[in-house]
Structure 1
Amino acid sequence: MIHTIGKIAVIAEIGTSHGGSMKKARELIDAARDTGADIAKFQIVYAEEILHPDTGFVRLPGGDIRLFDRFKELEAPPSFFREIKEYCDKKGIGFLCSPFGTKSLTELAELNPQWIKIASPELNHLPLLRSASELGIPLILSSGVSRLGDIEQALEMTKKAPERILLHCITSYPAPEDEYNISVLGSLAAVFGVRVGVSDHSLDPVLVPLAAAANGACMIEKHICLSRSDPGLDDPVALPPEQFARMTMELRKAEGRTPEAVLEDLKARYGDAKTSAVLGDGVKRLAESERANYGRTNRSLHYLRSMKAGESIREEDIGILRTEKILTPGLDPEMLERVIGGELVRDVDNGAGVSLADLVRSKR
């Protein structure tokens, strides 16, 4: 029996590119629908669920701004996302959204989504994964800036979910096409027994998506924008409508063809060397462009207030946050229950990453 490529779900990642404007959100939804996407994806952002206020600054055209404040600007009330979902329903395009903590997950669940998307940096946010998996809603998990053990832990934590799709990803903006190691899709599907896809942050609209389609991807996610000159965080690496439409058209043409035929077409267009580089060796590892982000973009434990030696750590004293710019990464979130109730043996600063040395007195 000849194997052919099946139906591929195309996700247009809008994220926060609407900037809080319902008019622009609708324009982006329209663009996603008109370019052939099956799903329009958003993010429910609350800065305190993601970052510590002292995490550092980001450079914008108007000058430096605290990264925390930049995320605060992206916050929107629940009514905003309810209206977005209603508009998606009206336009006949699927609605998908990523939460980043308990508050955003609760608000998202109230919208009765068909799926919930967990972004790559939250793949080790174990309390979030546990809560999401208990809602009875299928999950889509991105696996950028993650090692094989991180993926295994996340899938174990979410096994109560009725279904999970694992998206291979590189957490780099833009992500180099030749680091994608698309052959890993077969390895991930075989090892974990789940359907797989790709969340693609590369600039080329065709190369990674078609390589993924030829390697078993059932889902392709890519950022969409109205223009790469727009002010959204991800707009510089997103696809404008004409490029997104090209990607979708190429994927639809690939459906029903053999993987071998699609790969031969890629080699004819991009050359053997480039295509082979994108396919990689199929061994799951951190991509070169995201290695420096490992431990900083992922979640870790951070103090939410300055504390003195002798104080006992309460649950409200600890945040499961992205470290990002200038703070020091803390313990992995899997250590949270061991940290709560511990007594500090030294003073700690607000925002500092939690360390075992804060809790265990040296024998020297």
Structure 2
Amino acid sequence: MNYRTFTINGQGHDRPGPVTYGPERVLIIAELGTSHGGSAAKARELVDAAAEAGADCVKFQIVYADEILHPNTGEVDLPGGRVGLYHVFKKLEVPLGFYGDLKEYVESRGLLFLASPFGIRSARELRSLKPRLLKIASPELNYTGLLEELASYGLPALLSTGVSRLADIEAALEIFPPERACLLHCVTAYPAPERDYGLRVLGNLGGIFGVPVGVSDHSLDPELVPSLAVTMGAAVIEKHFCLSRMDPGLDDPIALPPVDFARMVRGVRRVSALGAEAALEALRRERGPDTVEAVLGDGVKRLAPSERANYERTNRSIHAIRDIQAGDTLAPGDFAVLRTEKILRPGLHPCWETKLAGRKTARFIPAGEGIVFEDLIR
């Protein structure tokens, strides 16, 4: 298998030069997300614990609720129960200085700082922090305007490919240069069944698009998916991290606490040391050939059963910000590219965002609903 590597210009204060990752040296990311709950002390505690557990990189999310959801989205089912996600995100908004201080602290620990933006404002704020690497989350893979903005920064990026089809990935890589991209195979379910991963897809994604690959893993097993992913050529492994699964963070119920994250790191490093073939044989003996074969799958990129219902709902589309009356002329502030979730109607693909201003509406569009072609006078 022709494995491709992924290079980042520096990592932490003690490693300023380029660092190249591949199956023999995997970049391991602890996804801290918003588990800090807005507390700088909790964020530092998470960083310290991730460093001790063996992470190379810690990742955060720069959240502004209005960039992600409409207030009328309603409640969303998450691992910790049903929540009004828009209002939770509002409570997680923090000043940019919060992340500036965190980046300095992360790098003082010799780790790489990484964050996901969710819209143009958070992207530009992230750029002001001078990151070495970007992350585009799965729901934003089809967000044309955000991809164009991030592509203009000239930085390498990890692009998660959960709840997407091959055509979605191809369209994203027509905007974000493939030579600066690494695709992270992902299943957008919380938790995701290990057997939904079909990890042979990694070699096919790398071959089709000519890019390095990795996995953003939402399964509960600390080792199975990450270790097998490295045998299939993964250069990057990302896994949610928490201090305890009893903590109140949005993703804490499916995240790995420090002991389990350290176990994952050891498993990944063992595969790198053994090499793909020897490691695969060892995993077949330890986990059973049927389990290993089920997780490896047939290599076809398809929507996994556990995420199929999320397609066109977790992804972005164009939604009305306000009640729009029949006969109104649309202005830029009347609509936004948002996640739909379960209650609202999905709208037009984000590529239409720049083409709607000046169009007249044919019928009433309630605030929050997706804008579709039938809403417009042609």
Q: TM-score range by the shorter chain?
A: over 0.9
Tell me what 1:26 maps to: 44
Asked if 1:192 is matched to 2:206, the reply is no
1:158 to 176, 196, 199: 176
Q: Please give the residue correspondences for 1:250-261 in structure 2 after superposition, counting only pairs within 5 Å.
A: 250-261=267-278
The alignment partner of 1:202 has SS state of coil
Instruction: Decide whether the 8 Å contact of 2:58 with 2:114 is kept in 1.
Output: yes
State the shift of 1:2 in Å: 12
Where do residues 170-185 of structure 1 align in structure 2 (5 Å cutoff)? Answer: 170-185=187-202
Write out aligned runs for 1:1-364 (5 A): 5-58=23-76, 65-159=83-177, 163-360=180-377
- Name the CA shift for 1:273/1:166 in 2 (closer, same or farther; >3 Å): same
What CA deviation, in whole Å up to 9, does each residue of 1:284-324 have, x standing for no partner? 00000000000110000000111112111112111100011
State the TM-score, normalized to the length of structure 1: 0.95
Describe the SS at the equivalent of 1:308.
coil
Contact 1:136 1:162 in 2 (8 A): no
Letter of the 2:237 counterpart: I
What is the CA–CA distance in structure 2 between the aligned matches of 1:180 and 1:2, rounded to whole Å?
21
- CA distance 1:61–1:346, change in 2 (3 Å): closer
User: Which residue identity is paired with 1:245?
Assistant: A
> In 1, are the aligned partners of 2:80 and 2:253 still within 8 Å (CA)?
no
Distance 1:302 1:79, change over 3 A: same
Deviations 1:309-360 (A, max 9, x none): 2111112111100011311111111122332321111111111111110114
Listed as ranges, the gaps of 5+ residues in structure 1 are none
SS in 1 for 2:353: helix
- Identical pairs, percent: 55
Deviations 1:16-44, CA, capped at 9 Å, x for gaps: 00001111101110111111110000000
Count of aligned pairs between the two proteins: 360
Distance 1:212 1:2, change over 3 A: closer
CA distance in 1, matches of 2:23, 2:84: 45
CA gap of 1:138–1:60, structure 2 versus 1, over 3 A, is closer
Q: 1:5·1:257 contact (CA, 8 Å) conserved in 2?
A: no
Residue type at the aligned position of 1:142: S
Q: Give TM-score, length-normalised by structure 2.
A: 0.92
Range moving further from structure 2, 136-145 or 53-62 = 53-62
Once the two structures are overlaid, the 10-residue window that deviates more, 225-234 or 316-325, is 316-325
